[in-house]
Amino acid sequence: MVGVVAAGGWIITRPTPGDYIPGLGPSRNDTAKTPPVVGAPPPRTDPEGLNVDNFFPAQRPVEAAGYRARRNGVRQGDNCAEVLQDRAQDPLKDTGCQAYLAVSFTGQDRPVISSVTMLRFPDQASAAKAADALRAKPGAVAFILADATTAPALPAGAAKQGGDPRVEAVGHYVTVTSSRTADGRPAGATAGGPGAPAAQNPTPAGSAPTEQMLDEATRALSYAAGSPFVWM
């Protein structure tokens, strides 16, 4: 840790790999390594635009409930149907969804990837209605992989990836969070089995995530995603 003099006192910061000065921001080399972003950014005039860099800066790890994760690929836009696994079955129809932001995360100390989707609605009632509709259709929201592509739909009978996705209505926003093993498979699925995407970060031998580990990642990132909207 590093102590920095500020306003006649000391601020204690924790170093992050790649900082110019440990704990005080990413290096020039790291800031050049921007994760892939698919879709159009929100207008600069939109005060509530879902801008990924405002919520999850590319080189600053997310840390919540003791869990650390790094941002990977991003998908964004104003057509909320783009977040669905199957657009023919649209639980968001007539909910008034205005925009979405979908972000992939990789656990820094655990072999887990997570997908977080944030949806914006005109009011709290619309958000609550949409959250109920999404809870009634687990898996309706696509899982975003590290390269910003969407994972294939899970085959019938596949093991759940750390439980059903966590859906939360926060103000007039909804967050949908789920986690899988580091190669993108659901917990318990066989590598290379039906519906398994190509490995992004192979899971080290002997360190396969447990259901509890995946659930902890989902809970931590769900909290991190929803916290900016608590007072909105």
- 27-76 pLDDT tens trace: 445 444 678 999 887 777 777 788 898 899 988 999 998 899 999 999 99
Least confident of 42-51, 80-89, 99-108: 42-51
pTM score > 0.85 for this model?
no
Q: In this structure, are residues 228 and 52 in contact, taking their beta carbons and an 8 Å threshold? A: no
Ramachandran class of 14: left when φ > 0, alpha when ψ lies in -120 to 50, beta otherwise = beta
**Location of structure tokens 């439980």:** 163
Q: In this structure, are residues 21 and 13 in contact, taking their beta carbons and an 8 Å threshold? A: no
**Location of structure tokens 């390269």:** 147
Task: Give the pLDDT confidence score for residue 226 in this predicted structure.
Answer: 94
- The domain segmentation of the chain, as residue ranges, is 1-33, 36-229
Burial class (CB in 10 A: 0-12, 13-18, 19+), 137: middle
Q: In this structure, are residues 154 and 195 in contact, taking their beta carbons and an 8 Å threshold? A: yes
Task: Give the pLDDT confidence score for residue 158 in this predicted structure.
Answer: 57
